[in-house]
Chains A and B, each alone.
Chain A
Amino acid sequence: MSNLILDAEALYTELRAGVQALWRPGMALMGIWSGGAWLADRLAADLPQLGKPGVISSTLHRDDFGARGMASGTDATKIPFSVDGAHILLLDDVLFTGRTTRAVLNELFDFGRPASVTLAVLVDRGGRELPIQPAFAAAKISLPAAQKLALAQGDDGRFTFTIEGDA
């Protein structure tokens, strides 16, 4: 276990401020399943002006399908607005290699042609393997590749981070 302590609730407060700063009228919120979707739901509850968020899943466009097979328990993409011409604010909990973001962008374009896509994340943990950068990250940290950083949401809606694997 790492000694690193990440206060997910404090970071959520920073993310909320970051999203407010990025927000423009006519934008649409979209959370990447699962952690990003939890964040989008909570932001939409805290800031009703953001509207009803969409949920987007990377499952059908993952590049590790051949090695990992079909993931189980993933929710299908649900987009309650038209993607064509939309300015989309995409949310994720942890940005690592960028491969999930790439898969999600492909998924998004199956629904239409957005005018723009902006990415905001709770934690940017480095280790990028693709040219993808967030417009906002509440925290930037460096973790060894073998460590897994995962967001969890309690029954009360509060967020916590767990770090698993060897440093």
Chain B
Amino acid sequence: MLHKRNPQLNHHGELIHLLSIEGLPRDVVTHILDTAGTFLSVNDREVKKVPLLRGKSVFNLFFENSTRTRTTFEIAAKRLSADVINLDIAKSSASKGESLLDTIANLSAMHADMFVVRHSESGAPYLIAQHCAPHVHVVNAGDGRHAHPTQGLLDMYTIRHFKKDFTQLSVAIVGDIVHSRVARSDIHALTTLGVPDIRAVGPKTLVPGDLKGMGVRVCHDMAEGIRGADVIIMLRLQNERMSGAMLPSAGEFFKNYGLTEDKLRGAKPDAIVMHPGPINRGVEIDSSVADGAHSVILPQVTFGIAVRMAVMSIIAGNDA
């Protein structure tokens, strides 16, 4: 039987692009997390830079706005000594009608070695990976509702840092799951790493029905959803979608699904609270929880740089 090769892996099974966590073997995911651990300590040095990508050009292609993710990719690439070029595509050639592949062909002619791509269309990074030169590597920095693999990996790094072992954990993902590429990447990563109990918690309008097929328990009741959880991943309620018919109001969402200290008492006493940012205080999470003892939201940001350094250095070191 013929298997279609995973486009992220070369013939030796090594990572050459990071497009999605779906379909990555556990040892590849673990190798990324282990390597991130090495890079975390680079921040403690007098020289916060290593020469692994010296002489390489990393192009940040953000077809969709993002300040935070683009900045962390930029910091990660610079700490690996790469030259970083930020292209605000939304304001440039795409608006003049140039096609995605023409943009890529032009940037490749400028000797790009790596593209970090965010795009509102699911699958855009795959298209680029299929059409770029063999020595060029692609990192998906978020595509449509599909995937945000580096966020998924930094979430796994955070969980492993605080909880050590994945195989006994209960993890609740709470909020706007239907629009969330973070939730999808987290679920694939948690499943790959052997987490036995994954729950998706939110109102019927914001939790897709096909999650049960991914081994996820769907809960529409917040108290039930986070009961006994070791890890609670809160998702951003996407304000831009609030005007639709999905939800009556932010206030009502907070009442039912916003994480407060009172609701948090239903989780394990040593539960950690995560959030991919930016947080909406008083919408999906109460300030006292976001700033409280269970919150690991800021460590997530720090780990995110190390994880992105790990991804970029691993793919840059592997040939197609």
Q: Which chain A residues have a beta carbon within 8 Å of chain B's beta carbons?
A: 57, 59-61, 65-66, 68-70, 72-74, 76-78, 106, 109-112
Contacts and interface: CB of A to CB of B under 8 A. Distances in A.
Contacts of A110: 45-47, 49-50
Nearest to A84: B46
Main secondary structure of the interface of A (DSSP, over half): loop
Given A70-B31, A70-B310, A76-B38, 6 more contacts: A65-B52, A65-B317, A72-B31, A77-B41, A106-B51, A109-B47
Contact of B50 (A61, A66, A74): A61
Nearest to A64: B317
A58 to B, nearest CB: 11
A76 B45 CA distance: 12
8 contacts: A61-B50, A66-B317, A69-B318, A70-B313, A70-B317, A72-B35, A78-B41, A106-B51
Contact of B41 (A73, A74, A76, A112): A76
Contacts of A72: 31, 34-35
Contacts of A106: 51
Highest count of chain B CB atoms <10 Å: which of A65, A77, A106, A112: A65
B221 to A, nearest CB: 43
Contact of A70 (B35, B42, B49, B51): B35
Given A60-B38, A60-B52, A76-B41, A69 B47 contact: no
Contacts of A68: 317
B317 A69 contact: yes
B314 interface: yes
Contacts of B34: 72-73
B270 to A, nearest CB: 26
B38 A69 contact: no
Contact of A69 (B14, B41, B45, B46): B14
Contacts of B45: 110-111
Contacts of B317: 65-66, 68-70
A97 to B, nearest CB: 19
Given A69-B14, A110-B47, A59 B318 contact: no
Given A65-B317, A68-B317, A70-B317, A57 B31 contact: no
A60 B42 contact: yes
A111 B46 contact: yes
A36 B125 CA distance: 43
A74 B38 contact: yes
A167 to B, nearest CB: 29
A69 B37 contact: no
A77 B313 CA distance: 17
A60 B50 contact: yes
B141 to A, nearest CB: 20
Highest count of chain A CB atoms <10 Å: which of B46, B310, B314: B46
A61 B38 CA distance: 13
Nearest to A63: B51
A57 B38 contact: yes
Nearest to A60: B50
Interface string B9-44: 000001000000000000000010011011011100
A69 B314 contact: yes
A110 B46 CA distance: 6
